[in-house]
Amino acid sequence: MGLAFLLGGFVVGIVIGLPIAFALGIAALAAAFYEGLPELIVFQRMIAGMNVFSLLAIPFFIFAGELMMRGGIAMRLVRFAQAVVGQMRGGLGLVNVLSSMLFGGISGSAVADTSALGSVLIPMMREKGYDDDYAVNVTVTSSIAGVMVPPSHNMILYALAAGGGISISSLFLAGVVPGIIMCLCLGIASYVVAIRRDYPAEPFPGIGPALITGIVALPGFLTAVVIIGGVVSGIFTVTESAAIGVIYALLVTVFVYRSLSLHDFWRSVLQSIRTTAMVMVLIGTATSFAYFLALYQVPAAILDLLLNITESKIVLLLLINIALLVLGAFMDMGALILICTPIFLPVVRQIGMDPVQFGMLLMMNLGLGLTTPPVGACLFVGCSIAKVKIETVLRTIWPFYFAVLVALLLTTYVPAVSLSLPALFD
């Protein structure tokens, strides 16, 4: 009955339109009241969930991403991508995918990727004769690279939810190959659709101008190299590396590009504070919610249920993927990482999957959820930028969903996709 209060309180909160963090907190309080526990235990769990040193990296990553987004990095990466692949048929679609992969490795956020690159590329694609739905389709699905390509603060949340013991540097490295494969699949899908719609090709600017755009974009791209290199080499901890990333981003945008105004800096600070506050409250309430899930032995019950359905590893992983895809369509990514990790991680460990590989499976599933209705943040941002209805976009987005699903299946069933790169640095 206590579990009914917990889940019922959460569902009611969602139905009446409460933010996910509030719904999780209210559900935890409802369970505490039913069990006769002091409400203080809920707040103690919240504080314990937020009082983790490694979480200090999250505000730094968010701030670095904001500085990169407002400091002109996105436009320079777009120009570089345009010089490299723009001359192909439907080249701006490929430019969109390549830019997302490059910028995702800097911002670490799918929503920031959609907002920054969408503001540049969607109007550009419209001006060149591309349909609005195609521009939005490519923009929102390729933004998942912001979740996969390191550094990603969602991987830090996963390491936290897993109870420690998982190397964040290994998670960062594990996201590189799946992220590249996903972008290659999306590139193929965008090219095929562009051919069918007879979209134009951009003229090749020449080797010299292409090299110049690459050199200009290099300082911004090196932000990700500084952060990841510091973590992987062991020179910095994740938190220290994130702080160094902020300093480097400031140096590049202020002194190299000279494109970050005082107004943009202030907006970056304010937005980082807002985003960090939302993330930390979500971490706290999700930790309380997960505490009661553990109290009611939900992870063990789900493990028994799945193993009673089938003992086939292939079928079990397929069921987990389906469950995550459905949940991702209705809930925020951060909350799902904190809730689903303690539920499904014991299941995949039972069947011999490496926790690092499961982390990549989780990231790609929930990243896809950011592009699907009814709660897809990236989908809403992309449609808002293009001023196009979501229904219009959904009619033609299926080839791009299929491309991500191909990458997801490879990540799920081929361990080397996720684990080969981390193994090189062990």
**Does a structural domain hold residue 35?**
no
CA 192, CA 397: separation in Å to the nearest integer? 13
Helices (H) and strands (E) in the chain, counts: 23, 0
**Two structure tokens written together for 126:** 């419209």
CA 289, CA 24: separation in Å to the nearest integer? 6
Give the residue numbers spanning the domain of 104: 54-289+297-424
Question: Residue 91: its pLDDT value, please?
Answer: 78
User: Which residue in 321, 338, 250, 273 sits closest to 52, CA to CA?
Assistant: 338
**Does a structural domain hold residue 4?**
no
**Does a structural domain hold residue 24?**
no
User: Which residue in 126, 65, 140 sits closest to 92, CA to CA?
Assistant: 126
Amino acid at 358: F
CA 229, CA 236: separation in Å to the nearest integer? 9
Question: Residue 106: its pLDDT value, please?
Answer: 61
Question: Residue 419: its pLDDT value, please?
Answer: 93
Kindly give the residue spans of alpha helices, DSSP state H, lying in 108-237.
110-127, 132-142, 145-148, 153-161, 168-174, 176-196, 207-233
Amino acid at 327: L
**Does a structural domain hold residue 174?**
yes
Question: Residue 420: its pLDDT value, please?
Answer: 92
**If you search the block for the tokens 């701006």, which residue do you land on?**
92
**Does a structural domain hold residue 10?**
no
Question: Residue 358: its pLDDT value, please?
Answer: 95
Question: Residue 108: its pLDDT value, please?
Answer: 60
Judge whether 143 and 370 are in contact, CB under 8 Å: yes
pTM of the model: 0.85
- Per the structure, how many domains does the chain have? 1
User: Which residue in 90, 92, 96 sits closest to 118, CA to CA?
Assistant: 96
129 φ, ψ (degrees, to nearest 5)? 100, 10
**Does a structural domain hold residue 7?**
no
**Does a structural domain hold residue 82?**
yes
User: pLDDT tens string for the chain (426 positions)?
Assistant: 777 888 888 888 878 878 878 888 888 898 888 888 888 888 888 888 888 777 788 888 888 878 877 887 777 877 787 777 767 777 778 888 887 777 765 656 677 777 777 777 888 888 878 888 898 899 889 888 878 887 777 888 898 888 777 888 888 889 989 999 999 999 999 989 988 888 877 777 777 777 888 888 888 778 777 777 777 777 888 888 888 888 888 888 888 888 888 888 999 889 888 888 888 888 888 888 888 888 888 777 877 887 788 778 899 999 999 989 888 887 778 888 888 898 899 889 888 899 999 999 999 998 888 888 777 778 888 888 888 888 888 889 899 999 999 999 999 999 999 999 988 876
CA 314, CA 197: separation in Å to the nearest integer? 37
CA 143, CA 150: separation in Å to the nearest integer? 13
**Does a structural domain hold residue 225?**
yes
